[in-house]
């Protein structure tokens, strides 16, 4: 999505433990992870000996169904369990996004999504495709699962994993020049 807007960047994979803290609220968790990832990415970038100014961007997404936080599935059985939970219900997709430069700015964005009732065959199809293997809630709205979404309230790009409006605001606040500025 960023490349499509004409933004150039390097990818840094920070080593951050993705574990929800005891008692941590679902709407706080992904924003904390995004802050930790952005800080670690900035440290890694500066650790390469560059003195160029840098802006680090990180995001993390969870799906919340009732009180259950669904992250990336551990395996295909876990993916099937998640899709069974999401079948026919409305759930929340929460993405924390952080931009770190000389200081750090972050936001959480919530989008409500409702899946259609999924048949056993549809669940098997989605799970067997592997389309949701590395995605919170075991699905990607931009992939095969999008055909089973009845309704979305809020940011589509948030459900994809990066809320673009909020991200662009944070990047501008950090002083990043956009191609259209």
HSE, CB side, 13 Å, CA atoms: give it for residue 54: 22
Residue reference for tokens 């295909």: 76
**Catalytic hit among 60, 78, 128, 133:** 60
Strand 68-70 versus strand 90-100 pairing type: unpaired
Output the six-digit token pair for 157.
């790009």
For residue 97, CA distances in Å to 4, 18, 70, 74 come to: 19, 15, 18, 23
- Would residue 60 show up in a list of annotated catalytic residues for this protein? yes
The secondary element (H helix, E strand) that includes residue 97 is: strand 90-100
- Catalytic site positions: 60
């Amino acid at each position: 999505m960023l490349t499509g807007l004409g933004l150039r960047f390097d990818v840094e994979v920070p080593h951050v433990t993705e574990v929800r803290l005891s008692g941590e609220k679902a709407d706080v968790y992904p924003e904390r992870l995004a802050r930790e990832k952005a800080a670690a990415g900035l440290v890694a970038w500066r650790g390469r000996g560059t003195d160029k100014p840098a802006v680090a961007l990180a995001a993390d997404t969870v799906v919340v169904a009732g009180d259950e936080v669904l992250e990336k599935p551990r395996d295909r059985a876990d993916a099937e369990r998640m899709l069974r939970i999401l079948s026919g219900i409305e759930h929340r997709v929460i993405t924390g996004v952080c931009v770190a430069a000389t200081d750090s700015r972050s936001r959480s964005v919530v989008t409500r999504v409702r899946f259609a009732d999924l048949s056993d065959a549809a669940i098997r199809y989605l799970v067997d495709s592997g389309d949701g293997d590395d995605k919170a809630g075991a699905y990607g709205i931009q992939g095969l699962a999008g055909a089973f979404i009845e309704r979305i309230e809020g940011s589509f790009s948030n459900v994809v994993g990066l809320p673009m409006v909020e991200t662009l605001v944070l990047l501008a606040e950090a002083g990043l020049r956009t191609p259209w500025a």
